[in-house]
Structure 1
Amino acid sequence: MNRLQAIVLALCIAPASALAQNQEDTGLGLDLSSDQKPQDETENTAETPTEEPPPLPSTVAEPPPAEPLSPTERDVTLDDRVKSVQRKVYLKKGRFEVTPLVTLSVNDPYYTKLGAAVRGAYYLADTLAVAARVSAVQVLPEDDVRIAKRTFQSRIFYSVPQWSAMGDVEWSPLYGKVAFLNDILHFDAYLLGGMGVVNTETSKVDNRGPSLAADLGVGLRFVARDYLAVNVALINTTYVDQPLNTSKGATQNLMTLNAGISFFFPMKSTGRESE
């Protein structure tokens, strides 16, 4: 190759090299690596197994398991619950009761029998008691007696009780509580029955002595304090008497309304802590 041919060859190669460089700068060149890269990525994708995404954390935190209660805590929890049927607060077993009473007859339209009484009781059980009652009675005539004697010249034969001594057994089957003046009063209802004697104005005639008698009645006891209660009872005392100026004896029924205040000893009820 002579010098002239070398110059011509250089002139031909220079434009072609400049054109190729221009195509690379403008992005018009042919990139042979682009076809190889997707193939490599496809091979890598086929060879590498798809990994599962980790589970998302729970947004709601689960409470820790509750610790078991100790025996002491279990007892306290059970005691703090409100019971549908609560235990009795007012207990009477083994206690003494002393009750002063005022008595008033309710079944005699002609003579009012007004008196005072003292009652004592001992409770063998919370619902059972033995009691004794001593009463003094005064008989007062009503206006109907004077009208009957003056207008109709009537004679009324009546018994005049003076005092009585009775022994009773009391049974209290009902117990409850009522609301009174923003306070709660406990009460119990009771039945009573017993026997004793009644002394009348004719008991001294022929040395008859007091007449045998029987008691039957019902009552309510409202507890204001552990040691204090209001006692109301309706009692019928039946006895046989021969009134003055008569020759025949007759059965007498002395029905009285009794009201008083009961005092209990010991003064503290052992059921108060269950309230």
Structure 2
Amino acid sequence: MRYALLILLFLVPGLARAQAEALENPGAVSAIQERLYRMHHELYLGVGVLPADAFYKGLVGSVSYTYHFSDTFAWQVGRGTYSYNIQTSLRRQLERDFDVAPTASAFEDQVQWMVGSDLVWSPLYGKTAVLNSSVVHFEASLLVGGTVVKIDRADGFRPAVNLGVGVRMFSGKTLSFRLDVTNNVVFAGASRIINVPVVQLGTAFNFGATE
């Protein structure tokens, strides 16, 4: 009993101090703000470039429809891209100075158009202040999907895997702007793989969304 009383005398002041500290500082409370804009049915119109090929540069126009299941997961049901190709000075020099035929294998890899579908995951959403005068809401996405690519060859339909990232800036409930950087890994046959990167900037129209 004597030892028990001594232990109790030592413990009581410590318990009292702990209770006092708990009352003074009940603990930090954190909260995550709900996103202001939500997507549902999305119609996208974009323009961009195919910048990578040494023999041509493509000016592209794209249209797509995306259904958003939730804030983070969506299905880009269908997308189509047409490329208007411009020969580079390197190709013109090869044809002029070295008599390289326009039907050379490397020249026939030019993309004419592409159609495909993608799954989209958007794990990041946030807002930032611009010059302390306005607030911009944005999200970042990853996508993966499949593509059918039409190149210049007579039998030029080729399958591809599409991988990419995107950033969306919200202008309001129904309007947002997207920057997408993707790469179609095209299986061109005979163990050949062609990388077709695409950089696009476009406008997205959102229907059926809520704030």
TM-score > 0.5 by shorter chain: yes
Residue 236 (1) aligns with residue 183 (2):
yes
Which residue of structure 2 aligns with residue 102 of structure 1? 47
SS in 1 for 2:90: helix
What CA distance in whole angstroms lies between the structure 2 residues aligned with 1:225 and 1:175? 15
Amino-acid identity (%):
28
Normalising to structure 2: TM-score of the pair?
Answer: 0.76
In structure 1, C-alpha distance between the alignment counterparts of 2:60 and 2:137, rounded to whole Å: 28
Aligned to 2:206: 264
Task: Please report how far the alpha carbon of residue 249 of structure 1 lies from its aligned counterpart in structure 2 after TM superposition.
Answer: 6.5
1:113 aligns with 2:58: yes
Unpaired stretches in structure 2, ≥5 consecutive residues: 1-29
Which residue identity lines up with residue 162 of structure 2 in the other structure? Answer: D
Q: Highest relative contact order (Cα 8 Å, sep 6+), 1 or 2?
A: 2
Choose the corresponding residue for 2:72, options 127, 136, 140.
127
The structure-2 alpha-carbon separation of the partners of 1:141 and 1:209, relative to structure 1 and needing over 3 Å to count, comes to closer
**2:35 aligns to what SS in structure 1?**
coil
2:88 corresponds to which residue? 142
Aligned twin of 1:223:
170
Judged with a 3 Å threshold, the aligned counterparts in structure 2 of structure 1 residues 147 and 209 are, in CA distance, closer, same or farther, namely closer
Q: 1:180, 1:256 → 2: CA distance?
A: 28
Displacement, 1:125?
A: 1.2
Shift of 1:154: 5.4
- 1:143 to partner: Cα distance: 1.5
Query: What SS does structure 1 have at the residue aligned with 2:160?
Result: strand
CA distance in 2, matches of 1:240, 1:220: 27
Q: Tell me the amino acid that sits aligned with residue 177 of structure 2.
A: V
- Please report the RMSD computed on the Cα atoms of aligned residues, expressed in angstroms: 2.2
The reply to whether residue 196 of structure 1 matches residue 144 of structure 2 is: no
Larger relative helix fraction: 1
CA-CA distance at 1:153 after TM superposition: 5.0
Given residue 227 of structure 1, which amino acid in structure 2 is its aligned partner? T
Q: 1:109 to 1:178 in 2, by over 3 A?
A: farther
Structure 1: unaligned runs, 5 residues or longer: 1-82, 243-247, 271-275
Question: For this pair of structures, how many residues does the alignment match?
Answer: 177
Name 2:17's counterpart in structure 1: none
Instruction: Quote the residue 1:50 is aligned against.
Output: none
Structure holding more strand per residue: 2
Matched, 1:251 2:193: yes
- Residues 185 and 128 of structure 1: CA distance in aligned 2, closer, same or farther (over 3 Å): same
Partner deviation per Cα, 1:138-193 (whole Å, 9 max, x = no partner) = 22111222234444555661312211111100000111112236221100000000
Deviation at 1:128, TM superposition (A): 0.3
What TM-score do you get using the length of structure 1 for normalisation? 0.59
The answer to whether the Cα contact below 8 Å between 2:37 and 2:172 also exists between their aligned partners in 1 is no
Amino acid of the structure 2 residue aligned with 1:210: F
Matches within 5 A, 1:1-275: 85-92=32-39, 95-131=40-76, 132-152=78-98, 157-158=106-107, 159-180=109-130, 182-202=133-153, 205=154, 208=155, 210-241=157-188, 250-266=192-208, 268-270=209-211
Summarize deviations over 1:15-35 as a string: whole Å, max 9, x none: xxxxxxxxxxxxxxxxxxxxx
SS in 2 for 1:147: helix
